[in-house]
Amino acid sequence: MIKNNWQFYIMEALAIAGFVLSAAFTTIFLEHPDSPVAHTMLAVHPLLKSIILGLIMGVYIFAIAKAVGKLSGAQANPMLSWAFFRIKKISLANFCAYCAAQFLGAIAAILLLKLTFGKIFANPLIDYSLTKPKPGHSLGTSLIAEFIISFIFVLITLFVLSSKKLEKYNAMIAGLLIALFLIIELPYSGMSMNPARSFASALIAWKWEEIWVYFVAPAIGMLLATEIFLLWQKSLGVDADGKPKITEGFFGSLTISEFPSEEK
C-alpha cells in the first residue's frame, strides 16, 4: 500500500516544506533589521506585518489545497492526518507515512534555510523560525491559544469536507482560517498549530525549551475536534457497512472523500 502511494507522501513533504519556506522568506523580509522595510511604517505597526504574513500564507494554503487537495489531501500537518485516520479516511500505514513525510519535509526546509541564509536566518528576530511565546505572554497563554486555533481549524475542516454544498469551498476556507490565525493569534504563541513545523525549527536551532507546548496544544485541540465530529457523525446513524448515511442536514450531505485511495 505504501509503495503505491509514494507520490502522495512526496506531495505532503513538499506542501509543508513550501509552507515553511514561504513563511520564513516573508518573516525575513518583514522582520530582519537589514530588510528594505525595516525602517518603514511597518516597523512601528506590527499588526500590518501580521496582516501581510497572514495574507501571503493564506494564499499559499489556498493554492496548495487547490493543487493537491484531491490527491494527497494537502494535510501538511501530522495532527490533521491523525484526524483523517481517526475518521477512517486513511489507513494506519498511510498515516505513519504521511507523518514521516511531513516531519522530513519541514526539517529539510529549515535545514536548507540554515545552509543558504546562515546568519540572516539565525538573527534573533528570525531565530530559525522557532515557534515560541511572544514577549509578554506566558506558556499558559500560548498553550490555550494553540489549543483554540487547532480545535477550530480541524472542526471546521471536517464539517466543511462532510458537506456536498461546502466541500468545494474547502481550500478557500482553509486559507482564510490560516490568514486569520496569523493575524489574530500570532502575537500570542507565534501561531504554529503544527508539531512538524515546530519540531523542525527546534531541531535545527537545538532549542527545546517551549517545544512541548506546540505538541500538546495542537494534539489536544485536534483530537477533541475529531471526537466531536465523530459524535455528530454517529448521531446521523450508519448504514450496514458502518459508513455514515447520506443525510441532508445543516451541513448538507456527508461526502468526505478518501485520500490517498485505499486498497479495498
Confidence of residue 253 (pLDDT cuts 50, 70, 90): very low
Confidence of residue 243 (pLDDT cuts 50, 70, 90): low
Let me know: does 208 contact 232? Beta carbons within 8 Å: no
Question: Cell numbers of 95, please?
Answer: 498515516
Residue 17 pLDDT > 90: yes
Question: Cell numbers of 70, please?
Answer: 484531491
The pLDDT of residue 67: 81
Let me know: does 222 contact 151? Beta carbons within 8 Å: yes
The pLDDT of residue 19: 95
Average pLDDT over residues 32-48: 83
pLDDT in tens, 167-213: 889 889 999 999 999 999 999 999 999 999 999 999 999 999 899 99
Residue 238 pLDDT > 60: no
Percent helix, percent strand, percent coil in the chain, to nearest 5: 65, 0, 30
More confident residue, 10 or 261: 10
Residue 241 pLDDT > 70: no
Confidence of residue 73 (pLDDT cuts 50, 70, 90): low
The chain-wide mean pLDDT, for the chain, equals 85
Confidence of residue 3 (pLDDT cuts 50, 70, 90): low
Which residues, including other chains, have CB under 8 Å from residue 94's CB and lie 6 or more apart?
1, 2, 5, 8, 85, 260, 262
Structural domains in the chain plus CATH codes: 3-235 (1.20.1080.10)
Residue (of 101, 98, 79, 113) closest to 204 by Cα position = 113
More confident residue, 28 or 245: 28
Residue 237 pLDDT > 80: no
Tally of CA atoms within 13 A in the half-sphere of 94 that contains its CB: 26
Confidence of residue 247 (pLDDT cuts 50, 70, 90): very low
- pTM equals 0.86
The pLDDT of residue 261: 45
Residue 244 pLDDT > 80: no
pLDDT in tens, 101-128: 999 999 999 999 999 999 999 999 999 9
Q: Considering the chain, what percentage of its residues have pLDDT values greater than 90? A: 59
Average pLDDT over residues 14-32: 94
Identify the three-state secondary structure at position 221: helix
